[in-house]
Structure 1
Amino acid sequence: MNKALIQGAIEVPYRRKTEETTIKWLGHAFEQLTSQLEVDVNRIDGLGVASFSLKPDRCVDMAWQLGLKLSWWMDDSNGGVSGINLLQHAIAAIETGQARNIVLLAGDAFHASDFKDLVANYNQTTRQYLTPLGIANPNSLFALITQKHMAEHGLERSDYGQLVVAQRKHATKNPNAVYRNPMKIQEYLEASPVSDPLVVFDCVPVVAGANAILISHVDEVRNRSGCVRVKAIKGMHNFDNQIGSGLSTGLSQIADGLFADAKLKPSDIHLINVYDDYPVMSLVQLEDIGIVSSQNIRRFLREDVIENRIAINTSGGQLSVGQAGAAGGMHGLVEAIQQLGGRCGERQLKVADTALVTGYGMVQYRYGMSANAVILEGIK
């Protein structure tokens, strides 16, 4: 992976409600990205799009809307793993000469009926088995996983709240976050219940928004300062055929190889962005990639996390910024690219040379089937 560089990334500020279409949101992201990076649009020959609500249109329709002539394109509607999945394929396309400049877009703009239809018909299993039981969204499923995780590790609700409160603290410095007001642990504990033991702050708020990333061949990049290189990238999907506990993901199968490819150790990573649809899954992923051990989760939450000893989801994560459908799978990537490029303003880390980003999602009967991760390195 020596020929491809990530030139930059942007996030269009999310909104709780919108009258604009998904095409409009994706278009805004494309325009902001190319304007900020001063890219000649005529040199863009690759496009990847992740979206649930773009249908019946697809990536090629988006290309027509943007006036792009493409040699490579890709659709992806795989939710929380879509951003890293698109990146994995785009890097391969650059490395093998299929394209020179690829823009990746991710976004959704749901109206109430659109989102209701998505969760009720997410896949055949949801439609046939879960919706008839009155399970209208994943909250009930992940409440069960949280209960299991609490019992296995001897945790209380306040332990999970430490992660939520810490991420909200990061969000106070992020002008794009939907929720920026500081939160105290008592506010979390007294929040409206959703599905025991989950409260409203444990569940990502649905928003409208879009993200964009530009990956280019090194020969296309005039100034490499502030660019980002992929050190290692891997995915693992349906690793346990839905017969496990849900307290592990495919990351457990790829973590060692990921760090070996990058020639780094977990302690070498300055920033970790894990897919945070629920606090329990953030903790599961952090354990799978070797950041925390099962014996130290409570200490990790009450010391390392709350005292800001470790940089996790520095944007505030989806729990504070919001989940714009498939854009959720690109949110952590965008934050990492901006941090490594020194473009995060007030929340910029003092030292940000390496980052690890995870993706998780595609809930089947019980929990997510898919997981992937990427290790990134900034270029000074």
Structure 2
Amino acid sequence: MTASSLRGKSTIVGIGTYGLGRAPGLSSMDLMAGATARAVADAGLQLKDIDGICGGTLYHMFPTLSMGEYLGIRPKWACSDMTGGSSFLSHLLQATMAIEAGLCTTVLIAYGSNLKQAGTFGIHELPTFEKVYGLMSPLPGYAMCAARHMYEYGTTRAQMAEVAVAARQWAQLHPDATMKAPLTIDDVLASPLVADPLSRLDCCLMSDGGAAVIVTSPDRAKALKHKPVYFLGGAGASWSREVSQIPDFCTTPTAECAPRAFEMAGITTTDVDVLQLYDAFTINVIMFLEDMRFCKKGEGGAFVSGGRIAPGGALPVNTNGGGLSFAHPGMYGLFTLIEATEQLRGNAGARQIADAEIAIAHGNGCTFSHEFTAVLGGANTL
């Protein structure tokens, strides 16, 4: 089995979200289970058809054990590899390998978090070399990256604000988005600074919510409800854990993993119809677009300006509103897969990108610590 041999060997056949925004009285497992029920129904399957589990929460040390018990599933194969918000895209590659190897047939990838209610990430690990200064991640670390990018390349706060405004415009087209009030660049610039140069509106939401996708083989997908969305390629890269160990504050591991994912899928940037990028902060989108080579390093701020990534723009990015305006229950990665799937199915409603055939879903873990790029496609891309 090689990376290229996995192209087209798995499909996403079911998707579901549950309890987005605020879900009083529901635990992270409740939210995970609600999303799972919707994904299983969306696929036209039953829980008994699931024989593989991936996923996690913010609060469970042994997540797949807890998930399986809660759902009443005894999986043949499970994986709870945790790299932060990028984990669930990495799980898609691992599920593909497990299915192709015959270890299981149908994999649930699921996540749930009641972060809005809990008010805490539930993370007790403080990085060794930084704990004397307090918690440097996530906000202060991203602010440092944004500040360095501004210093090196002349990126402006107004350019970063373009990312937030575009996300809000997309969110206004999604019936389940958390934030829909009109937003302008001036609104973003006027919002309080929380870690210079990032303002409150440069930062993702803190919400409740669950998400789930069902993955199976192309052969099994033929008998199910929706036209399948194929996994064409994927790759991850890890460069650091602590903010103090980031090798380059203006470049992320995306610069390494995205080219490998594109090569596996057999595509270039010109083939991509829509992107779902993990926008924990506005600077993320600018740096990811640079590192994926949609523009040159240092030109990301100008690239996103003028509505290029907003509705009606030349490059649709985060068409559900992203973590900035749609939802962000602690880890957002699985939602990138769900929105990419909806776009490739052609059922995204008012936000649908016409004739979308190839979508990028990209996850980010910790503070630009681990990145994972997944390439998804419709049947015409095989």
- Regarding TM over 0.5, the answer is yes
Partner of 1:149: 149
Report the TM-score when normalising by structure 2.
Answer: 0.90
Check whether the contact 2:105–2:216 (CA below 8 A) recurs between aligned residues. yes
Partner of 1:43: 49
What runs of 5+ residues in structure 2 fail to find an aligned partner? 1-5
CA gap 1:269/1:373 in 2 versus in 1, 3 angstroms = same
Give how far 1:111 is off. Answer: 6.1
Q: Does 1:276 align with 2:282?
A: no
Letter paired with 2:180: R
Give how far 1:224 is off. Answer: 7.7
Q: Deviations over 1:240-287 (max 9, x none)?
A: 992522211222123333222211110100011111111112111111
CA–CA separation in structure 2 for the residues paired with 1:199 and 1:37:
40
Letter paired with 2:85: G
Partner of 1:334: 338
CA gap 1:113/1:50 in 2 versus in 1, 3 angstroms = closer
Check whether the contact 2:344–2:356 (CA below 8 A) recurs between aligned residues. yes
Q: Does 1:30 align with 2:36?
A: yes
Residue in structure 2 matching 1:94, options 85, 96, 99: 99
CA gap 1:299/1:116 in 2 versus in 1, 3 angstroms = closer
Residue in structure 2 matching 1:355, options 342, 356, 359: 359
Give how far 1:295 is off. Answer: 5.2
Partner of 2:329: 324
Partner of 1:213: 213
Report the TM-score when normalising by structure 1.
Answer: 0.90
CA–CA separation in structure 1 for the residues paired with 2:256 and 2:241:
10
Give how far 1:296 is off. Answer: 3.3
Check whether the contact 2:9–2:230 (CA below 8 A) recurs between aligned residues. no
CA–CA separation in structure 1 for the residues paired with 2:112 and 2:106:
20
Q: Deviations over 1:185-239 (max 9, x none)?
A: 1111111221111111111111110111111122322048521111111111127
Structure 1 runs of 4+ with >3 Å offset: 111-114, 128-132, 134-137
Matches within 5 A, 1:1-380: 1=6, 2-16=8-22, 18-53=24-59, 55-56=60-61, 58-110=63-115, 115=120, 117-118=122-123, 121=124, 123-125=125-127, 128-135=128-135, 137-221=137-221, 222-223=223-224, 226-238=227-239, 242-294=245-297, 296-303=299-306, 304-305=308-309, 308-326=313-331, 328-363=332-367, 368-379=368-379
Letter paired with 1:212: A
Question: Percent same amino acid at aligned positions?
Answer: 24
CA–CA separation in structure 1 for the residues paired with 2:347 and 2:95:
23
Give how far 1:6 is off. Answer: 1.3
Q: Deviations over 1:279-310 (max 9, x none)?
A: 11211111111112135334312232356211
Partner SS for 2:75: coil
CA–CA separation in structure 1 for the residues paired with 2:187 and 2:143:
19
CA–CA separation in structure 1 for the residues paired with 2:225 and 2:269:
26
Give how far 1:110 is off. Answer: 2.6
Check whether the contact 2:250–2:287 (CA below 8 A) recurs between aligned residues. yes
Letter paired with 1:345: G
Partner of 2:3: none
Check whether the contact 1:16–1:206 (CA below 8 A) recurs between aligned residues. no
Root mean square deviation of aligned Cα: 2.2
CA–CA separation in structure 2 for the residues paired with 1:299 and 1:137:
27
Q: Deviations over 1:112-148 (max 9, x none)?
A: 6661652xx2x341xx554542446522221121111
Partner SS for 1:186: helix
What runs of 5+ residues in structure 1 fail to find an aligned partner? none
CA–CA separation in structure 2 for the residues paired with 1:98 and 1:293:
42
CA gap 1:223/1:295 in 2 versus in 1, 3 angstroms = same
CA gap 1:249/1:131 in 2 versus in 1, 3 angstroms = same
CA–CA separation in structure 2 for the residues paired with 1:139 and 1:235:
23
